[in-house]
Structure 1
Amino acid sequence: MTGTPPLTDDGTGLRADRVSRTAGGALVLDGVTLAPRPGTLTGLLGPNGSGKSTLLRLLAGVLAPDTGVVTLDGDPLGSVPRRTLARRLAVVEQHADTQVDLTVADAVRLGRIPHHRAWSPATAADEEAVRSALARTDLADRAHRTWRTLSGGERQRVQIARALAQEPRELLLDEPTNHLDIQHQLDLMTLISGLRLTCVMALHDLNLAAMHCDHLVVLCEGRVVTAGPVRDVLTEQLVAEVYGVHTAITHPAPDGRPHIRFLGAAPRER
């Protein structure tokens, strides 16, 4: 297995350098470095409690690291103006709710807030961004539905649409497929992998990660176990050691992407 990859030299984009974070006296992240390549999809893998969501919150600027630094184009995230950060970076959380029963279209319009001053009317560009986001997430026919009438999967797609309407360069997603049926999981992953944005996504489904991610970072107990191209990272030994599961991994696709068949529990060696 490989260790944490070094940061690239150009300093551009969103990066975490040796970040650590404690919560309730417990070390949640321990010296994690993440340098996603521009325009690629990086998958964050690891068991529950491995630190994936905390790392995403550090990258989003919602939390500050206890040690280490998160930077955007070389500048510490805390020094980046909030409006600049909101225009550059969009976040899709695992769960979303609202006390106001917005329509789908109005919820997606929230993604346009960073692009104009408060109380200023929507522009033609705003409305086009909203229409495009609704269409790309298969929500155009639900634009006038209200939030409380939506299923969990539909609400998740509204979150994705709101993020797309924001027109970010970096997109952070925390388990975005959790509430989706199989068809919409595949549609969503195909959409995200084709965006050509710098995407970092926490995932539990190893086969979805294998099919769609460009690079993987595997966390366990707050540390990076391995990171690199999908084929190099997803091995039978890795899955056994990190997840405690025996697998048979083959590479049937023409591009060599792995397919994982789960065989049963295995004792963890870590």
Structure 2
Amino acid sequence: MSAGLAADRVAWSAGGALVLDGVSLTPLAGTVTGVLGPNGSGKSTLLRLLAGVLAPASGVVTLDGDPLAAVPRRTAARRIALVHQQADTQAELTVADVVRLGRIPHRRAWTPASAADEAAVRDALERSGLTSRAHRLWHTLSGGERQRAQIARALAQEPRELLLDEPTNHLDIQHQLELLDLISGLELTSVVALHDLNLAATYCDQVLVLRQGRVVAAGEPGAVLTEELIADVYGVRAHITRPGPGERPHIRFLGTLTGSA
């Protein structure tokens, strides 16, 4: 029986249009896997299939070798945490209140928080660098702080698999780097949808590249992110600098390809 979360030839359609077509992904335990591709390539849909939010039309998502659909929802929620692109609420919630939502899979309905719940919340706040903001109201936070709070909420679930849908969107460079430093240091099995190829090259142990719902390439960033692939998938000319063996590549974009779609 294979351990962890995996997708095997999954497909999904919306409105008669094929969004994902035969995509397989087996993240390595304790690593960061980047899911890359242009807008509309199926990145968000793949994460929702892995989280069990959507059910594949064909193929299967498994957790420790068992079909995810057959795993009790509470069990899956304790194992898998999904962080969406953006989250908002009109309720007057504090940061600590938001993080406490991550304990729902561990509690029976209408039961008060236990000492273990509160310890998990404190730990998640500390790991996310939000202890000093625990009593701040959610709507007063910056975009970067909200993303960190959502990751803290996910960490309070005490998952083994963490799925993040473009977590660096709308963040400035400092907050992008801080967020990915946090994610890469968690030692969880993380799958992250990203737009920025240099961030993917810097922080991901493996990448999966999608185009129009199909896998174009998969493997280590240094092997996958080539000038040819970037031109083919993104329609962009690029120059890649490879500092040395074992070092991460850096991508410099030179412009769009003439006549590219």
Q: What TM-score range do you get, normalising by the shorter chain? A: over 0.9
Query: In structure 2, what is the equivalent of residue 108 of structure 1?
Result: 99
Secondary structure of the residue that 1:122 maps to in structure 2? coil
Query: In structure 2, what is the equivalent of residue 242 of structure 1?
Result: 233
Identify unmatched segments of 5+ residues in structure 1: 1-9
Aligned counterparts of 2:35 and 2:259: Cα–Cα separation in 1: 20
Shifted more, 129-138 versus 159-168: the winner is: 129-138
1:19 aligns with 2:10: yes
Shift of 1:42: 0.4
Shift of 1:170: 0.4
Aligned counterparts of 2:245 and 2:21: Cα–Cα separation in 1: 37
Query: In structure 2, what is the equivalent of residue 177 of structure 1?
Result: 168
RMSD over aligned Cα atoms: 1.6
* CA deviation profile, 1:184-227 (whole Å, cap 9, x unmatched): 21111111112111111100011111011000000000000000
Query: In structure 2, what is the equivalent of residue 90 of structure 1?
Result: 81
**Are the counterparts in 2 of residues 243 and 268 from structure 1 also a CA contact under 8 Å?**
no
**Aligned match of 2:69 in 78, 86, 94?**
78
Shifted more, 154-163 versus 219-228: the winner is: 154-163
Shift of 1:259: 0.5
Shifted more, 177-186 versus 250-259: the winner is: 250-259
Aligned counterparts of 1:42 and 1:57: Cα–Cα separation in 2: 15
1:58 aligns with 2:58: no
Secondary structure of the residue that 1:21 maps to in structure 2? strand
* CA deviation profile, 1:103-157 (whole Å, cap 9, x unmatched): 1101001111111212222222222221222122222221111122222222211
* CA deviation profile, 1:233-268 (whole Å, cap 9, x unmatched): 011111111011111101226632101111111158
Aligned counterparts of 1:55 and 1:45: Cα–Cα separation in 2: 11
**Aligned match of 1:209 in 191, 200, 204?**
200
**Are the counterparts in 2 of residues 240 and 267 from structure 1 also a CA contact under 8 Å?**
no
Shift of 1:73: 0.9
Shift of 1:269: 7.4
Identify unmatched segments of 5+ residues in structure 2: none
**Aligned match of 2:38 in 47, 51, 54?**
47
**Aligned match of 2:140 in 130, 133, 149?**
149
Summarize the alignment of residues 23-38 of structure 1 with structure 2, pairs less than 5 Å apart.
Answer: 23-38=14-29
Aligned counterparts of 1:221 and 1:211: Cα–Cα separation in 2: 25
Aligned counterparts of 2:93 and 2:31: Cα–Cα separation in 1: 33
Query: In structure 1, what is the equivalent of residue 213 of structure 2?
Result: 222
Query: In structure 2, what is the equivalent of residue 130 of structure 1?
Result: 121
Shift of 1:41: 0.6
Give the aligned residue type for 1:223. R
Shifted more, 242-251 versus 92-101: the winner is: 92-101
* CA deviation profile, 1:47-75 (whole Å, cap 9, x unmatched): 00000000101111111111111111111
| Identical-residue share of aligned pairs (%) | 72
**Are the counterparts in 2 of residues 58 and 70 from structure 1 also a CA contact under 8 Å?**
yes
**Are the counterparts in 2 of residues 240 and 268 from structure 1 also a CA contact under 8 Å?**
no
Secondary structure of the residue that 1:105 maps to in structure 2? helix
TM-score by length of 2: 0.95
Secondary structure of the residue that 1:172 maps to in structure 2? strand
Secondary structure of the residue that 1:117 maps to in structure 2? coil
Secondary structure of the residue that 2:39 maps to in structure 1? coil
Shifted more, 77-86 versus 260-269: the winner is: 260-269
Give the aligned residue type for 2:220. P
Aligned counterparts of 2:244 and 2:109: Cα–Cα separation in 1: 50
From the superposition, tell whether residues 130 and 253 of structure 1 become closer, same or farther in structure 2 (CA, over 3 Å).
Answer: farther
Aligned counterparts of 2:148 and 2:29: Cα–Cα separation in 1: 24
Aligned counterparts of 1:167 and 1:114: Cα–Cα separation in 2: 10
